[in-house]
Amino acid sequence: MNIQENAAKYNDYVIAMRRHFHMHPELSLEEFETTNFVAKELEKIGVPYERLTETGLVATIEGRGPGKTVALRSDMDALNVTQKNDVPYKSQTHGKMHACGHDAHTAILLGAAQILNDMKDTFDGTVKLVFQPAEEVAAGAKALMAAGDWYSKVDNFFGAHVWSGLEAGKVSVEAGPRMAAADIFKINITGKSGHGSMPHQTLDAVVVASAMVLNLQTLVSREYSPLEPLVISVGSIHSGNRFNVIAGSAELEGTVRYFSREIAGTIEDSIRRVVESTAAMYRCEATLEYSYVTPPLINEEASSALAYEAALKTHGADNIVKLEKTTGGEDFAYFLNEKPGCFAFIGTKNAAKKTDFAHHNENFDIDEDALIGGSALYAEYALTFLSKN
Q: Is 100 part of any known ligand binding site?
A: yes
Q: Is 136 part of any known ligand binding site?
A: yes
Q: Is 22 part of any known ligand binding site?
A: no
C-alpha dihedral, 368 to 371 to 372 to 376, nearest 10°? 160
272 in Cβ contact with 290 (< 8 Å) = yes
Phi and psi angles of residue 96, each rounded to the nearest 5 degrees, phi first: -130, 140
Class of residue 235 by CB neighbours under 10 A (exposed 0-12, middle 13-18, buried 19+): exposed
Quote the CA–CA distance of 103 and 81 in Å, as a whole number: 14
Quote the CA–CA distance of 52 and 178 in Å, as a whole number: 28
Q: Is 195 part of any known ligand binding site?
A: no
The sign of the dihedral angle between the CA atoms of 253, 256, 261, 266 is negative
Quote the CA–CA distance of 116 and 106 in Å, as a whole number: 15
C-alpha dihedral, 104 to 109 to 113 to 119, nearest 10°? 100
115 in Cβ contact with 375 (< 8 Å) = yes
Phi and psi angles of residue 149, each rounded to the nearest 5 degrees, phi first: -115, 15
Known binding-site positions: 100, 102, 136, 161, 360
Known binding-site positions for Mn(2+): 100, 102, 136, 161, 360
